[in-house]
Amino acid sequence: MLAMSIPFEQEPIAVFDLMSVTNLLVLGVFCAGLSSVLYLGSLEHEEVSRMAFFIYLMPVFASVFAWVIKGEGVEAWTAVCAGVIASGIAIATRRGG
């Protein structure tokens, strides 16, 4: 759908240099590929209903990777929300006993 808007752009802003290709490979292979393999591997050992909560950790990991790999700053509000997400997942996946 977004491809239809390309003719209406003022000037092209996509630049393909070594750094942008490296970023695409790191994000595509490391962040997306590795996390998908780990998630799918964990589905072999746990129920899908319990593992579905971990999808909500994607923005938390994206913020951590942006901070570690790219050196981007993390806002205080983002850190607070990450804590809320992590504690919510811990409560939701806690085994009743």
**pLDDT tens digits, 41-73:** 888 887 877 777 778 888 888 888 888 877 888
- The angle subtended at Cα 19 by Cα 16 and Cα 21, nearest 5°, is 55
Average pLDDT estimate for 68-84: 86
Tokens of 18: 């070594």
Tokens of 20: 């942008």
Q: Which pLDDT score is estimated for 6? A: 67
Q: What's the alpha-carbon Rg for the chain, to the nearest Å? A: 18
Neighbouring residues of 62: CB distance < 8 A, sequence distance ≥ 6: 31
Q: Which pLDDT score is estimated for 97? A: 46
The 10s digit of each residue's pLDDT in 1-34 is: 666 776 777 776 667 788 888 877 877 777 777 7
The Cα-based distances of 69 to 4, 26, 52, 96 in angstroms read 32, 9, 26, 38
Q: Which pLDDT score is estimated for 62? A: 81
Distance in angstroms (rounded) separating the CA atoms of residues 82 and 60 = 6
